[in-house]
Amino acid sequence: MAMRMSSLFLRTLRENPADAEVPSHQLLVRAGYIRRVSPGIYTWLPLGLKVLKRVEQIVREEMDEIGSQELLFPALLPREPYEATGRWSEYGANLFRLKDRREGDYLLGPTHEEMFTLLVKDMFSSYKDLPLALYQIQTKY
């Protein structure tokens, strides 16, 4: 069912927001695609979310076309893989860290390379299983 523009949850802005310095950021906010919640955190508004989902769909179609397989890792990840690669300390204050109720260290995944390599290492043991093309579409922190 098509929605009328008059009933769309949309408000555009005439002026650039004071906190938006990059032209693309200014346009996204002014056009009513996103709204700022706090520094670096945005809400996807209906029109922006439609565009985001369409871009994801195009990426999925293209990745599937070349034989890639989509998977999805959790956003909350254990410390150990990032400690092993040195990224736990390398990222410093830029890494969002937290502890669980048992004092275990976790982080919000800025990247998932460690998780991809651990998964493939765990599931495959021979070069005959390669090549392998995997991808994910997810928010990074």
CATH superfamily of 56-141: Bira Bifunctional Protein; Domain 2 (3.30.930.10)
Confidence of residue 1 (pLDDT cuts 50, 70, 90): low
Q: Say whether the peptide bond before residue 81 is cis (omega within 30 degrees of 0).
A: no
What the block records as the tokens of 81 is 């893989």
Name the DSSP letter for residue 17. -
> Which part of the chain is CATH 3.30.930.10?
56-141
Its pTM stands at: 0.82
What the block records as the tokens of 118 is 């651990």
What the block records as the tokens of 3 is 């929605």
Proportion of the chain above pLDDT 70, given as a percent? 97
Residue 68 and residue 131 in contact, taking contact as beta carbons nearer than 8 Å: no
The pLDDT of 60-70, averaged and rounded, is: 98
Q: Which residue has the higher pLDDT, 19 or 64?
A: 64
Look-up of token digits 């990247």: 111
101-114 pLDDT, tens digit each: 999 999 999 999 99
The pLDDT of 67-88, averaged and rounded, is: 96
Dihedral angle sign, alpha carbons of residues 77, 81, 84, 90: negative
Question: What's the pLDDT at 18?
Answer: 87
Residue 120 has pLDDT above 90, yes or no: yes
Question: What's the pLDDT at 32?
Answer: 95
